Amino acid sequence: MNILSMRVASLVVATSLFVGWAAEPPPPPRDFLEGRVQAISRHDRREIQALAKKELVRTGRASHPIYCIYVERSDLVYVYHGEQRKRAEDVEEALIVERVHGHWQLGEREIVRGVNIPT
């Protein structure tokens, strides 16, 4: 190989490395049930889903599918809904559902995560 072709080859490698660093990989798809899944029962899951669907209907988001229930603890669950993230900069929304005195209820806040979301 001559020097010119070595320089071209190293330029191609450097460019591909730079482009690879610039673009974030897409987030992996979520499983429907994640986290400490043994911490809640099947009955709890059905109750949580029904509560989340009712809230989505009440707030005009009935078309949002529920794509993941993340169990943080036996008394705290996040219900992810809407469009599942396909790129790192996509918005992610979740309802916070808590068990209070043995009953599941919606938290006072929701999670909305994304690149251009003011904090």
Label residue 3 by pLDDT band (50, 70, 90).
Answer: low
In contact, 32 and 69? CB cutoff 8 Å: yes
Give the pLDDT confidence of 41-93 residue by residue, as tens digits. 999 999 999 999 999 999 999 999 999 999 999 999 999 999 888 887 888 99
Name the residue among 106, 90, 44 with its Cα closest to residue 71.
44
Is the domain defined by 26-113 classed in CATH 3.10.450?
A: yes
Q: Which residues pair with 68 in a beta bridge?
A: 80
Regarding pTM above 0.75, the answer is: no
